[in-house]
Amino acid sequence: MNLDEKSSYLKELFKDFTFDFVSFASNTKSYRNKLELAIFHQDDEIHYAMFEGKKKYIVKECKIANEKIQDLMPLVLKALNSNKALKERLFGVEFLSTKLDMSLTLLYHKDIEQIKTELNKFSESLNLKLIARSRGKKLVFKDEILKQELEIYNKKYHYVYTNECFCQANTYINEKMIEWLLKELKDEKKRDLLELYCGYGNFTLPLSFIFERVVATELSKKNIEFALKNCELNGVKNIKFLRLSSEDFSKAIKKEREFFRLRDVNLDEFYFSHILLDPPRAGLSKEVVTLAKNYENIIYISCNPQSLRQNLEHLKEYELKKLALFDQFVDTKHIECIAILKRKV
Report the CATH number that the domain containing residue 253 is assigned in CATH: 3.40.50.150
CATH of the domain at 95: 2.40.50.1070
The verdict on 212 and 319 lying in the same domain is yes
The answer to whether residue 165 is catalytic is no
Task: Report yes or no on 18 lying in a domain.
Answer: yes
Amino acid at 21: F
Same domain, 82 and 7: no
- pLDDT digit string (tens) for 297-326? 999 999 999 999 999 999 999 999 999 999
Percent residues over pLDDT 70 in the chain: 100
Q: How many domains, the chain?
A: 2
Determine which one of 165, 231, 303, 337 is catalytic.
Answer: 303
Domain encompassing residue 137: 34-146
Instruction: For residue 154, tell me if it sits in a domain.
Output: no
Which backbone phi and psi does 168 adopt, to 5 degrees? -65, 135
Q: Does 216 fall in a domain?
A: yes
- Whether residue 313 sits in one domain with residue 273: yes
pLDDT value at 213 more than 90: yes
Burial of residue 150, with CB atoms counted within 10 A of its CB: 0-12 exposed, 13-18 middle, 19 or more buried: buried
Q: Is the pLDDT of residue 170 over 90?
A: yes
In a domain, 222, yes or no: yes
Query: Given this model, what pLDDT does residue 53 score?
Result: 85
**Per-residue pLDDT at 122 exceeds 90:** yes
15-73 pLDDT per residue, tens: 999 999 999 999 999 999 999 999 999 999 999 999 988 899 999 999 999 999 999 99
Give me the percent of the chain exceeding a pLDDT of 90.
94
Give residue 150's Cα distance to chain centre: 14
Any domain includes 162 = no
| pLDDT value at residue 52 | 87
Return the bridge partners of 150, or none: 157
Same domain, 19 and 48: no
CB atoms within 10 A of CB 234: 19
Residues 6+ apart with CB under 8 A from 342: 296, 297, 298, 318, 319, 321
Same domain, 283 and 178: yes
Binding site residue list for S-adenosyl-L-methionine = 168, 197, 218, 278
